[in-house]
Structure 1
Amino acid sequence: MRYSSIYQLFILFVLILPMKMLAGERIVILGSSTAEGAGVKVPENSWACRYAQYLKSVDKGYEIINLAKGGYTTFAIMPLGTPAYDTGTHVLAVDSLRNIDKALSYSPDIIIINMPTNDVSNGIPLSVQLSNFRTIIDKARSKNVKVWITTSQPHNFGEKYTPPYTESHRPDASKQKFRNQFKLLSDEILKQYGDYAIDFYTGLVSEDSCGFIKPIYDSGDGVHLNDEAHAVLFERVKNKIGLD
């Protein structure tokens, strides 16, 4: 190869490399109310919007597509053809506009799954929820898409958090059973997915082992997280998902 040809290839490489570096990545979010932004005073304060703003500040080539919808369970984001799930009071079915197939149709580089509490709230066993996560994640990874999954988050289940609890003032036993599942679910997600799991539970939960939302992070309804909590979640997403 002549020197001029080598020089031309070098110039081409130098021109193309910055274009590749500025291309950014496409990230799709699958989730429910937390990812949609419930609980914050203004939408821009949700963890998803904060993350999108952060990415744009790093590189305008980054793109986030948020398919999250309040109230959704893992069955809503399962692959097309998944049988509907009957909870006994209502039927949970796949939403073809917000599920894993729709997410993959955007040819994403990364998918973030944030389904923290609705499965438990609908009485879906943890084993079923974890199985659904595996199905969704395996499908994405089969397409060479990286997936990060958040843990559960604390939930008050209609009880007012008034610590400390004593022998004469205990949480409702039936509701406490549900709250305990969020800790078990979070631990299992962290165990199974390791570096690809994002902790949305630790530090946001009360320190008395009762599983309530810390008052400083409660939006006021005992279910959704406030602006301060979403700022914490954003930092955890940003720190966990490294930018290429």
Structure 2
Amino acid sequence: MNYTPNWSEQGFARQTIRQVVRVSAGGVAARIRLSNIYGTVPLKVAGATVARTAGGAAVRRGSLRHLTVNRARTFTVPAGTEITSDAVPLPLDALDSVTVTLYLAEPTGPATYHAQATATSYRSAGDHRADIGGTAFTETSQSWYYLSGVDVIGGARRQGVVAFGDSLTDGYGSSADSDNRYPDELAERLAAAGRPRAVLNQGISGNRVTVDSVWLGDKGTSRFRRDVLGQPGVGTVIILEGINDIGMSEAPSPIGAPPTDVSARQIIAGHRDLIRQARAKGLRVIGATLPPMKGSRYYSERSETKRDEVNTWIRTSGEYDAVVDLDRTLAAPSDGDQLNPAYDSGDHLHLNDIGYRATAHAVDLADLR
């Protein structure tokens, strides 16, 4: 896994950021959520817009809406907090893309961001929040900044699904700007079945169930409250996490931190903690077994023993409401410890577009509340 250069450390000043995300369910209005959770100073937003995407950094004429917070176009996100904008009328269908544009006039300091967006973000000098075309946006990045969610309001009221995990949920290895991560593919299946619903991707590349990291995110048991329980309208959570706890017991993390030994028993205890948190809020909890990783830098006899132990517990303990058995779905026909070459992005750990599609199709739609 490679962490490419981005704009997070230097932050922004007198610059406009334009970011594109796809929604999974339709509606008649939208609002955005901005996060300054990891900021050390207040984030002052000089202006923000939302629009339907036309392609690249361009937006559809007639769809651009100025965003407000408490009816003010200029607003502040205090350090360590998130805010939600006022709703604006914006008709959207399931699987439409929206473009969110922020103009940041004052220096922001280091930015709260999502490293592996697998989507292109755009930057320009000056205030271009209301531009219809994309010509001013000459710089690009593969990360998202400050944008933590888009809420679509007024559509069919089916309970949402949160996909919670690491890079296998985040979509590392899938094609950029193609929305081929497994939660995207799951949203497409639901839409095709005539049952579109919100599917929220809460994957963080490199994330672990049991270990906090400045670069790889708060541990799963800590961030679950914010990233799952704090999301509106959720009925089901799919948990796919633990491969980094195992792999980073053997190998340094992607950003060079030394190994942190985590046992299978500790990972299982972490999963039990997540299940308890979800059940306390009335959520349906689905567990996914950890896919094969033979041939990857994470693989050793010891790590394989841990993976088998965790998967056996997920598969047979009965503690999850349902199980998605990715260990078996994604395995090579000739070697159950290795990814099927048809699904392998090339590092024997992460999936390609076909593999993420197979992951989504392994989910039984009847298991989703």
TM-score (norm 2): 0.48
Instruction: Evaluate the alpha carbon distance shift between residue 92 and residue 40 of structure 1 in structure 2; reply closer, same or farther with a 3 A threshold.
Output: closer
Which is richer in helix? 1
Residue 224 of structure 1 deviates from its aligned partner by: 0.5
2: CA distance, partners of 1:56 / 1:226 = 22
Asked whether 1:25 is paired with 2:159, we answer: yes
Equivalent residue for 2:189, pick from 33, 42, 54: 54
Contact residue 67 and residue 98 of structure 1 kept, 8 A: no
Paired residue for 1:113?
239
Query: Residue type of the partner of 1:137?
Result: I
Following superposition, the deviation at residue 114 of structure 1 comes to 1.2
Tell me if the contact between 1:151 and 1:197 (Cα under 8 Å) persists in the aligned partners: yes
C-alpha change, 1:95 and 1:141, in structure 2 (3 Å) is closer
Aligned match of 1:175? 300
The answer on whether the counterparts of 2:210 and 2:221 sit within 8 Å (CA) in structure 1 is: no
CA distance 1:92–1:37, shift in 2 (3 Å): closer
Instruction: Provide the C-alpha distance between the structure 1 equivalents of 2:293 and 2:352, rounded to a whole number of angstroms.
Output: 13
- Among candidates 156, 163, 171, match of residue 37 of structure 1: 171
1:139 pairs with 2:277: yes
SS at match of 2:278: helix
| 5+ residue gaps, structure 1 | 1-20, 77-83, 160-173
CA distance in 1: counterparts of 2:274 and 2:321, whole angstroms: 18
Q: 1:226 aligns with which of 352, 362, 366?
A: 352
Secondary structure of the structure 2 residue equivalent to 1:222:
coil
- Residue 209 of structure 2 aligns with which residue? 74
Aligned position for 2:314: 189
Q: In the alignment, is the contact (CA less than 8 A) between 1:116 and 1:151 conserved in 2?
A: no
* Cα RMSD for the two superposed structures: 3.1
Q: Distance in 1 between matches of 2:276 and 2:170?
A: 24
| Equivalent residues, number | 198
Deviation at 1:180, TM superposition (A): 3.4
SS in 2 for 1:29: strand
- Summarize the Cα distance change of 1:143–1:27 in structure 2 as closer, same or farther, 3 Å threshold: same
Report how far residue 53 of structure 1 moved.
Answer: 2.0
Q: What is the CA-CA distance between 1:179 and the residue it aligns to?
A: 2.4
Question: Structure 1 residues 75, 184: closer, same or farther in 2, change over 3 A?
Answer: closer
Aligned residues of 1:179 and 1:210 also touching (Cα < 8 A): no
- Percent sequence identity over matched residues? 20
Partner amino acid for 1:153?
A: P
Q: For residues 205 and 97 of structure 1, what CA distance do their matches in structure 2 show?
A: 31
| Equivalent in the alignment of 1:63 | 198
Is 2:163–2:201's contact at 8 Å kept on the other side of the alignment?
yes
Report the residue type matching 1:223 in the other structure: L
Give yes or no for contact 2:207–2:218 (8 Å, CA) kept in 1: no
- Cα displacement (A) at 1:116: 4.7
In the TM superposition, what is the alpha-carbon distance from 1:44 to its structure 2 partner?
A: 2.1
Deviation at 1:209, TM superposition (A): 5.2
CA distance in 2, matches of 1:118, 1:228: 22
Cα pair 1:26 1:63 within 8 Å, conserved: yes
- In the alignment, what sits opposite 1:156? 294
Residue 97 of structure 1 and its aligned partner are, at CA, apart by: 9.2
- Whether the aligned pair in 2 keeps the contact of 1:206 and 1:213 (CA below 8 Å) is yes
Report deviation, 1:158. 3.5
Q: CA deviation at 1:176?
A: 2.7
* Conserved? CA contact 1:34–1:225, under 8 Å: yes
Alignment of 1:187-226 (within 5 A): 187-193=312-318, 196-207=322-333, 211-226=337-352
Q: Is the 8 A contact 1:68 1:98 kept in 2?
A: no
